[in-house]
Structure 1
Amino acid sequence: MRSATRPTFNLLATAAVLGALLPAVLAHGDEGMKMDGDMNGAMDMSASQPDNDAQEYPPNYFSHPGYRGTLVAHIALMVLGWVFVLPLATMFSLARSRYTLPTQFAFLAVNALGVLFSTIYNAKTPDLYPNNAHHKLGWVVTWVLSAQVLISLLGRLAGAFSKKTDNALSNAECQGFLPVSRAAMDEHHRLHSSPYSALHRHSDDSGHGTESRPESLRSPSFSSTPDTLASPGAQTAHKTFHDDDEDLEADADLPTVQRGGAIRNFATNIGSKISSRAWRVLILGYNIVDRTSMILGFVALCTGVVTYGRFFEGSMIFTGLAHWIKGGIFFWLGIFTLGRWCGSFGELGWAWNVKPKSASGRWTPSAEFVESALIFTYGATNIFLEHLGRWGGGWSFEDLEHISITVLFIGGGLCGMLIESTSIRNLLNTTVAEAAQECYDEDERETALEEPRTYNFSMNPIPALVILLLGIMMSSHTQQSMISSMVHKQWGNLLTGASFARGFSYVLTYLKPPTSILPSRPPTELLTSFGLMAGGVIFMASSGDTVLGMINQNLDAMFMYTVTMGLIGVFMAWEIILIAIKGWAVRREFGKPRTARKYYSA
């Protein structure tokens, strides 16, 4: 499961971001309230606080007394839709399950009801956050997901989705190179020598399939009458989607109407007007939304929290972006880490397992290479943004401190990528390899140069080291208030703990490297994911405006800490449940017997 990786409980995670805003934290509010959309990417890490006193705290939706029930209903519905229903629909969609459409429509219904409540609330309350981005972003996300559901509906009615849709083209290529015996070809010509055989294949089908049944050459999406086969839609459907007998059975299981129904005929007519290339683009867009919908929802939720508390107005947008973007990255890294423990990306060898043999033989990066590349990219781009909050002013020691952190990210990320490069490692072995050429005969040389077992698995502590150093530095970072210092120390300690846990994972792996393609699931990775997720949320809460909001509501740092710990535990459980549901859906659609459960990872 790539993804993706990647469950949506992520939306709830920001609930901890604002202990003072706990009811709102659950608000995905993609349509309701409003937020500043000026995302100029300054990355000032300081928790500088605005000049306003707590007594002069501006009016906001959190303290607005009117229509509280309407706002709570909006929040509750958005949590239900975006945190529970949408992740479930995404898992079913990735599994190409028959339950995809029902859950997708359930999400649209819940989301539409939430939009209705937010519209009512906006109409009856003053605009306390003018020109916010939450309102606009919410509508964009809603329409994107509505378009995805429309493609899903049309594709299933027209037969574009089946169990093997994602592998259709690659399967067709493989079939084209299958060896065929002369006897099989003779039998094929005997079956297709009738002058009527042309009526049973598409005009773009050469008729050179290897199946003995003529039905296997038909498209599973359209009937085989001459009129239908002559239509462009039938031809393009044959080009785009695979056409074996399993798919004919699979389509019967999908949530489609009867073939003779008016709705299906209407969908078929629409499908006949869509070219093969257009279908490819639509399905590509569908898959992209599948894998990014949770991130879009997370961003919309964050903007909802910002709007609810009226944070990051004016120049405070820079420090707000710095903390919330970086904290969000750590939160999602924690989700990714827990997904690896569950078995996600096991086909790439990222699930603490031996990478399965690939038929394509293509190179795929290790998980540590991806982490190092992200660290390097972040440092390389962020180094130009550290001074943006004080643009035009002089450079302070604090600016140089932040620049040094980005340099650490650049150097650490580059070092991590070099360590993961097999070419670099081979070059590093040159000296000892040359010595073996001189000191050993041919038989001994082969044994002497045999790679250690640890070469089969990546053990790269550099990404963990970078996070460890960041946690240590920021937990000691000087702040302008006691609460701000405590919050920074909290997330710094959590990131430090996550780094130590990752180090223990490498120790376990070094002592006993994985020998199976099944996930080894080191228990220390559970600690790593918890530290990253909780640390990321509290990182977001350490921004200046957020701390000021806590002070205004008479909340201390431990309130934020304890609420975050509880929510992250729930989020981790929800992610594991979602990935397990996806595994169940895949087995159900592909007909895997329960007795074979030991052969499949979660």
Structure 2
Amino acid sequence: MRLSSYALGVLSALVVSALADVVVLSTPSLSRRDGDHHMSHGPPLLELNETELTLHHQPIPESYYTIDFDDLEHASERYPGLMFLHATAMALAWFVMLPAGIAMRSVNHAWHKMVMIAFYGLIVVGLAFSTAYRKLTPNMYEGQVHGKQGYTWILFALILTTIDFLNIFRRVYLFFRNGQKFDFRSFWSSVILDKGISSSFEGAEYAGLVSEEPEEMDVTMEMVSPTSPPPHKHVHYDDNALADDGPTAQWANDVRRHHRDYSQSAASETTLFGRSHFEEESSINRRPAKKVPLSRRIGTGVFATLERVLVFGGLMQVLSGIVVYTGGCRENYLNGCLAHIIKGAIFWCYGLVSFARYLGAFAELGWAWNRAPAAGYPSAEFVESLVIFIYGITNTWMERWGARPGDPFTTKQIQHIGIAVMFWFAGLLGMAIESKTVRQWLASSTISALNPSQRDQEAVAEPPTYIASFNPFPALVVGVTGAAMAAHAQTYLFQVQIHQLWGNLLLAWSVLRCLTYFFLWLGVPRSMLPSRPPTEALGSFFLACGGLAFIFSTEELTIAAMRRGRDDVMMFLNVAVAITCFALCWTIAVVGFKGYLKSRIAPPVAYHSSA
């Protein structure tokens, strides 16, 4: 109640301030839309007005880029090659060696430590080239924090590596506590390679989550049955064929018949309040998973998450490095520049993660458009809604940064705050829909309408759509944001066109995500394998490309393009498409490499066609 009253107060303040702005702007003395900068009510301008621009922005000073490539008179005194080598070494470290090391660590690969040594070695090489470049080049960006941020991320990586290294002492203690005779080979395998003490099939990330689904039971039954079909065939078994073959064959026949009936059922046998008959029988024959303490599961999950944050830290360094090298985001360009880079990078990463989900990443959590092998994890839509909620509740207040006390709300601020409030409450709606408790509350009215004799736990069957999540609010938020930003007023026509470009790309992702839900609603995923809906592949591309075009729409970058005669929308789009395709190739390489490593240690599984 307190939260609702507070939100209502915020919205009321926005409405009142909007009405006040309408009254103020009706006076002849104020004709600008925002009351600041240089946006006017007239149509967007076709050519750059340098006189008007200098009234609101300081002249852009020289940068590392201009002295390296534009100053031909002193070209012999510049060393852009050192900067290129620095960028190459750092890119190899953060986007090749680090993801490879994370993938190897997830399967306890023997070469994991060597890859991490190569990671730090490339960082040292990159720092050496950067130091040499700064020694030979004048300082062209006073107050930049790119270097400090880089050292912070390196320190963060060292802390995680130290924690991983200290885990060796725990394995040494476990090795000698068992009282076994010391042997160098077993010591190396158990302590250094982390094999033998804990099962190598558990992995370092999600230990103790091994479970068998009906597909895995088919493999077991094929080993028992004397007439096992090829893995790619779907064969009908006669229920009476094995009647006289003994109790083992009869048991296998019963389980196979039960699984066939389950697979062909139009609705799930799982009830709203209890376990299904199939779950009770299959749990008897299910291989028991090794019990892992909750504290260890939380610790390994947090560690794995922090490791992956390092990759996003590398992206942050790439963006800040480009800004420093080109001399951008200075003076009163800073706030708008940061807003475009941060928000655009969020959509960019969102698109890459969505593409990784399409490929099969996070399938063990049920996030790859598949049926989760294990229960107890939040849905991907819940996480998306949570991120949207956090973004909205924080960005609502950040839009007023830089405003003086008593300044009226500008039109642009009201536009952006309105979008942030939409993120806020749409995220709440998305999380509420994903809550199992809320779903039970919503279903209670239907259950209460039944007669007492009909309220048996086995009487109410869940519809098949309860297996998956069909939450449209993340797509709605991104789609409305794209449609709104495509209509965002700008000073110059080129800026309007760039905003229309990335706004329509975000809207396209929203439409494709809704199509994904539509097709999955018609055929709910029943396999634990990734279903890979093609609409998600296209949507991920549009979302990532839209985020990159969002970054390109920065006011300073568009003005620089107009000054150099590069104000061409097709050029911006083609560059964004090319970089996005390269990033998607990197994503499939990382996900595929991790899958390859897991396939080398996992037991062989025979797949069968469900068609």
Q: TM-score, normalised by structure 1?
A: 0.68
Does the residue aligned with 1:111 lie in a helix, a strand or coil? Answer: helix
Structure 1 residues 542, 221: closer, same or farther in 2, change over 3 A? farther
Does the residue aligned with 2:515 lie in a helix, a strand or coil? Answer: helix
The aligned counterpart of 1:59 is 62
Structure 1 residues 530, 101: closer, same or farther in 2, change over 3 A? same
Higher relative contact order (CA 8 A, sep 6+): 1
1:145 aligns with 2:148: no
Percent identity reads 31
Does the residue aligned with 1:388 lie in a helix, a strand or coil? Answer: coil
Q: Distance in 1 between matches of 2:338 and 2:410?
A: 20
1:481-560 alignment runs, 5 A limit: 481-556=492-567, 557-560=569-572
1:112-261 alignment runs, 5 A limit: 112-149=124-161, 160=171, 202=177, 215=180, 244=197
The aligned counterpart of 1:320 is 337
Structure 1 residues 427, 281: closer, same or farther in 2, change over 3 A? closer
Deviations 1:172-224, CA, capped at 9 Å, x for gaps: xxxxxxxxxxxxxxxxxxxxxxxxxxxx963xx7xxxxxxxx7499999869x
Give the number of equivalent residue pairs.
Answer: 455
| Contact persistence 1:94–1:290 (CA under 8 A) | no
1:97-496 alignment runs, 5 A limit: 97-149=109-161, 160=171, 202=177, 215=180, 244=197, 287=304, 289-358=306-375, 363-392=376-405, 393-437=407-451, 441=454, 446-447=458-459, 449-496=460-507
Unmatched 5+ stretches in structure 1: 1-44, 169-199, 206-213, 224-233, 251-278
Q: Distance in 2 between matches of 1:287 and 1:221?
A: 27
Q: Distance in 1 between matches of 2:589 and 2:374?
A: 28
Deviations 1:444-469, CA, capped at 9 Å, x for gaps: x954x211100111101111011110
Structure 1 residues 456, 474: closer, same or farther in 2, change over 3 A? same
Q: Distance in 2 between matches of 1:561 and 1:394?
A: 37
Q: Distance in 2 between matches of 1:592 and 1:52?
A: 68
| Contact persistence 1:78–1:111 (CA under 8 A) | yes
Q: Distance in 2 between matches of 1:335 and 1:221?
A: 41
Q: Which amino acid aligns with 1:423?
A: T
Q: Distance in 2 between matches of 1:79 and 1:339?
A: 20
Does the residue aligned with 2:449 lie in a helix, a strand or coil? Answer: helix
C-alpha deviation, 1:492, in angstroms: 0.3
Q: Distance in 1 between matches of 2:37 and 2:525?
A: 42
Q: Which amino acid aligns with 2:379?
A: S
Q: Which amino acid aligns with 2:101?
A: A
C-alpha deviation, 1:108, in angstroms: 2.2
Does the residue aligned with 1:526 lie in a helix, a strand or coil? Answer: helix
Deviations 1:551-589, CA, capped at 9 Å, x for gaps: 34432232221011011112112211211111211233x
C-alpha deviation, 1:153, in angstroms: 6.0
Structure 1 residues 481, 453: closer, same or farther in 2, change over 3 A? same
Structure 1 residues 284, 474: closer, same or farther in 2, change over 3 A? closer
The aligned counterpart of 1:89 is 101
| Contact persistence 1:217–1:243 (CA under 8 A) | no
C-alpha deviation, 1:372, in angstroms: 1.0
Q: Which amino acid aligns with 1:583?
A: G
Structure 1 residues 598, 387: closer, same or farther in 2, change over 3 A? same
Deviations 1:290-339, CA, capped at 9 Å, x for gaps: 22110111111111011012111133221122111111111111122112
Q: 2:592 aligns with which of 571, 580, 585?
A: 580
Q: Which amino acid aligns with 2:62?
A: P
Q: Which amino acid aligns with 2:330?
A: E
Deviations 1:242-263, CA, capped at 9 Å, x for gaps: 964867xx9xxxxxxxxxxxxx
| Contact persistence 2:365–2:374 (CA under 8 A) | no
Q: TM-score, normalised by structure 2?
A: 0.67
| Contact persistence 1:47–1:484 (CA under 8 A) | no
Q: Distance in 1 between matches of 2:513 and 2:429?
A: 18
C-alpha deviation, 1:541, in angstroms: 1.7
Structure 1 residues 99, 431: closer, same or farther in 2, change over 3 A? same
Q: Distance in 2 between matches of 1:528 and 1:88?
A: 26
| Contact persistence 2:365–2:377 (CA under 8 A) | yes
Does the residue aligned with 2:543 lie in a helix, a strand or coil? Answer: helix
Structure 1 residues 243, 385: closer, same or farther in 2, change over 3 A? same
Q: Distance in 1 between matches of 2:462 and 2:551?
A: 44
Structure 1 residues 335, 217: closer, same or farther in 2, change over 3 A? farther
Structure 1 residues 562, 521: closer, same or farther in 2, change over 3 A? same
C-alpha deviation, 1:93, in angstroms: 2.2
Structure 1 residues 411, 218: closer, same or farther in 2, change over 3 A? farther
Structure 1 residues 47, 325: closer, same or farther in 2, change over 3 A? farther
Does the residue aligned with 2:402 lie in a helix, a strand or coil? Answer: helix
Unmatched 5+ stretches in structure 2: 1-35, 40-47, 69-77, 204-295
C-alpha deviation, 1:369, in angstroms: 1.0
Does the residue aligned with 1:62 lie in a helix, a strand or coil? Answer: helix
Does the residue aligned with 1:429 lie in a helix, a strand or coil? Answer: helix
User: In terms of Rg, which structure is larger?
Assistant: 2
Does the residue aligned with 1:383 lie in a helix, a strand or coil? Answer: helix
Structure 1 residues 357, 136: closer, same or farther in 2, change over 3 A? closer
C-alpha deviation, 1:115, in angstroms: 1.4
Q: Distance in 1 between matches of 2:354 and 2:574?
A: 22
Q: 2:80 aligns with which of 57, 68, 73?
A: 68
C-alpha deviation, 1:86, in angstroms: 2.5
Deviations 1:328-375, CA, capped at 9 Å, x for gaps: 1111111221121122222221111112234xxxx4211111111111
Q: Distance in 2 between matches of 1:322 and 1:569?
A: 24
**What's the RMSD between the two structures over aligned residues?**
3.7
| Contact persistence 2:385–2:474 (CA under 8 A) | yes
Deviations 1:396-436, CA, capped at 9 Å, x for gaps: 22211211111111121111111112222222222322222
Does the residue aligned with 2:130 lie in a helix, a strand or coil? Answer: helix
Structure 1 residues 120, 598: closer, same or farther in 2, change over 3 A? farther
| Contact persistence 1:538–1:561 (CA under 8 A) | yes
The aligned counterpart of 2:4 is none
Structure 1 residues 456, 133: closer, same or farther in 2, change over 3 A? same
Q: Which amino acid aligns with 1:463?
A: P
Deviations 1:452-508, CA, capped at 9 Å, x for gaps: 100111101111011110000001100112221111111101100111110110001
Structure 1 residues 245, 383: closer, same or farther in 2, change over 3 A? closer
The aligned counterpart of 1:31 is none
| Contact persistence 2:486–2:500 (CA under 8 A) | yes
Does the residue aligned with 2:337 lie in a helix, a strand or coil? Answer: helix
Q: Distance in 1 between matches of 2:148 and 2:313?
A: 13
C-alpha deviation, 1:99, in angstroms: 2.1
Structure 1 residues 57, 591: closer, same or farther in 2, change over 3 A? same
